[in-house]
Amino acid sequence: MKKAAVFLALSGMLALAACSPGNKAEAPADAQSPAAAPAKPAKTGPFKIALVMKSLANEFFLTMENGAKAHQQANADQYTLLANGIKDEQDVARQIDLVEQMVAQGVDALVIAPADSKALVRVCKQAMDAGVVVINIDNKFDGDVLKERGLSIPFVGPDNRKGAKLAADYLAKTLPAGAPVAILEGIPSAFNGIQRRLGFNDTVQEAGLTLVTSQVANWEMEKANQVAASILTEHPSLKALLCANDSMALGAAAAVRAGGRAGQVAIIGYDGISAVQQLILDGQILCTVDQHADQLAVFGIEFALQVLRGEAAPADIETAVDLVTAETLAAK
């Protein structure tokens, strides 16, 4: 029921954008991109749409891909889908190559979750210069870089700072003031990673917690396991690990178990992948944030279709985030 509610809510937002091109949906507070361009003249389908994601080794993006493919199958008369991803979260060069390949194949629109908020802007500009509609999902492009290049690329996705704070606030209720905590960050140049770190820090400051360290683990489970193990050794009184995605939360949970600290160190994640659900029910992970991976690309695709048809002007659209706890899982 919750998935259906999220889909209907976002469908309504997209419809509103289509009916009123001049009134774009409220963007996240940090939006800095130039004013959106007017809707393009209508085209006739079926369209060819490319979905370019980050690491398909991450369950989040596999779920995203599956959701997009299911949507395409249900709307096969409207568009064809070319879905691609990279093996490594840090393989920016490969993702740039994928975008170039999609443009060469004559796609009408590109829906992209960039591995780097700055490095992918150039190739996306090339795509736009070739007449491709570009929609940004998941990880927002850097506003300053867009401004420097005179670009306005709409972002369809969550407010990551708000989502991270949602999880951290839930954690803070379980900890006393002054409790020592640590943050595991994503890739430093990724906008969503920066925003999640800021959201965690907002709660740390408001709740009076003590941040002993904030370290990069590049979104990866194995790296997070190594970093978390080191932090646990250096800070034996640590009470919590705030992880900027669920893959890192899984790695941190393994480190806590291996270090004999189960039940002593709380862990929070972000993404809402299925792999963390049993660990939440078992008490190994306190909570995560569901940003509805199965629908995130779908929202981007539907908006791209509206822009292609001339039904909507490019505009930022904020999608939902929901806290996932043992209580919410038990209530399903």
* Average model confidence (pLDDT) across the chain: 90
pLDDT at site 83: 98
pLDDT over 90 (residue 31) = no
313 — pLDDT class (breaks 50, 70, 90): confident
Q: What Rg, from alpha-carbon coordinates, does the chain have?
A: 20
pLDDT at site 30: 39
pLDDT at site 45: 80
pLDDT in tens, 32-60: 334 344 445 567 789 999 999 999 989 99
3-state per-residue secondary structure call for 75-88: CCCCEEEEEEEECC
| Distance of alpha carbon 174 from alpha carbon 76, whole angstroms | 48
332 — pLDDT class (breaks 50, 70, 90): confident
pLDDT in tens, 78-133: 999 999 999 988 899 999 999 999 999 999 999 999 999 999 999 999 999 999 99
pLDDT over 50 (residue 5) = no
Higher per-residue confidence, 49 vs 315: 49
3-state per-residue secondary structure call for the chain: CHHHHHHHHHHHHHHHHHHCCCCCCCCCCCCCCCCCCCCCCCCCCCEEEEEEEEECCCHHHHHHHHHHHHHHHHCCCCEEEEEEEECCCCCHHHHHHHHHHHHHCCCCEEEECCCCCCCCHHHHHHHHHCCCEEEEECCCCCHHHHHHCCCCCCEEECCHHHHHHHHHHHHHCCCCCCCEEEEEECCCCCHHHHHHHHHHHHHHHHHCCEEEEEEECCCCHHHHHHHHHHHHHHCCCCCEEEECCHHHHHHHHHHHHHCCCCCCCEEECCECCHHHHHHHHCCCCCEEEECCHHHHHHHHHHHHHHHHCCCCCCCCEECCCEEECHHHHHCC
Residues 6+ apart with CB under 8 A from 64: 51, 53, 113, 138, 293, 294, 296, 297
Strand bridging mode 109-112 / 79-86: unpaired
pLDDT over 70 (residue 21) = no
| Distance of alpha carbon 188 from alpha carbon 285, whole angstroms | 24
pLDDT over 80 (residue 142) = yes
| Distance of alpha carbon 55 from alpha carbon 290, whole angstroms | 18
pLDDT at site 284: 98
Burial 243-256 (b: 16+ CB within 10 A, else e): bbbbbbbbbbbbbb
How far is residue 295 from each of residues 102, 195, 213, 232, measured CA to CA in Å? Answer: 22, 21, 34, 36
Kindly report the pTM of this predicted structure.
0.85
Question: Of 102, 160, 159, whose CA–CA distance to 134 is shortest?
Answer: 102
Which domains occur in the chain, in start order? 29-157+293-320 (3.40.50.2300), 160-290 (3.40.50.2300)
Window from 13-22, 162-171, 287-296 with minimum mean pLDDT: 13-22
